Amino acid sequence: MKQKIYIIKIGGALIDDEKLLNEFLEQFSEISEKKILVHGGGKLATTLADKLGVEQKMINGRRITDKDTLDIVAMVYAGSINKNIVAKLQQKNCNAIGFSGADGNIIQAKKRNHPEIDFGFVGDIEKESINEKLLSEFINLDLIPVFSAITHDKKGNLLNTNADTIASVIAQALSGIYDVELLYCFDKEGVLGDVEDPKSVIPSVSEDEFSVLKREGKLHKGILPKLENALAAVKNNVNKVFLIKETQLKNHIENHHAGTEIYL
């Protein structure tokens, strides 16, 4: 029987709210099973870029990562945010260890090659990108890995990589070793039938239902990458995948009925 592991992804809105982040990390630290935390970036990188006069360019909601922007996101994501989260978890007697993908060659990405758009230093990954043997060794030492959204290409370059994708791909890579449950924790109760109504939670979404919701324009842009990565995880043998509100983590772990379950 495989050992249970939770892979939990948190986003920028939670990171930007110190009180909510502390409450979430308290709930996270109380999970007795094996666990991994993956975090996004928050507003700090944009704020720092403004202070330094580095113009930020976005196309279809995705950040163009030129060299100056890469320096900023690496400092903020893999540095300030990652180490602050690790320190807060240590305060809660949760023996965390912070990573970028370059550390231990644990996530090796490929620079995005888009036919029309130069995204700059942006990395794409798949489950073969993960050094799951080394990662499982850290987990077996009862360490709690905390991943930032920074990877590398084995050519001396750091790459900015979508944190939703990192969580999904780590879950896929570990699914042969562990009984994996992937949780996307964000500021909604789950997938909403009506984005204006927080009570309109859809309890489960299949691949076909996702296609219908997307076609009908019922999904806001922010949730699309989560759902696409959630479905990719389910297709690659991840046992359970949920989208839940970040304040509901403890309730979900104990009762398994918070948020929206994703299935094929």
Alpha helices in 30-147, H assignment, sequence order: 44-52, 67-73, 82-91, 132-140
pLDDT of residue 59: 80
pLDDT of residue 61: 66
Confidence of residue 195 (pLDDT cuts 50, 70, 90): confident
pLDDT at 58: 81
Burial code (b: 16+ CB inside 10 Å, e: under 16) for 157-186 equals ebbbbbbbbbbbbbbbbbbeebbbbbbbbb
Token digits of residue 212: 């219908």
Q: Residue 113, exposed/middle/buried by CB under 10 A (0-12, 13-18, 19+)? A: exposed
- From 171, 183, 165, 163, select the one nearest 237 (Cα to Cα): 171
pLDDT of residue 221: 75
d(C-alpha 221, C-alpha 178), whole Å: 31
* pLDDT reported for residue 155: 97
Q: Does pTM top 0.75 for this prediction?
A: yes
- Ordered by start, the domain boundaries in the chain are 3-263
User: For the segment 64-89, what is each residue's pLDDT rounded down to a tens digit?
Assistant: 999 999 999 999 999 999 999 999 99
CATH classification of 3-263, choosing from 3.40.1160.10, 3.40.50.700, 3.40.1440.10, 2.60.40.10? 3.40.1160.10
* Most confident option among 18-32, 38-52, 181-195: 18-32
Write down the pLDDT at residue 196: 85
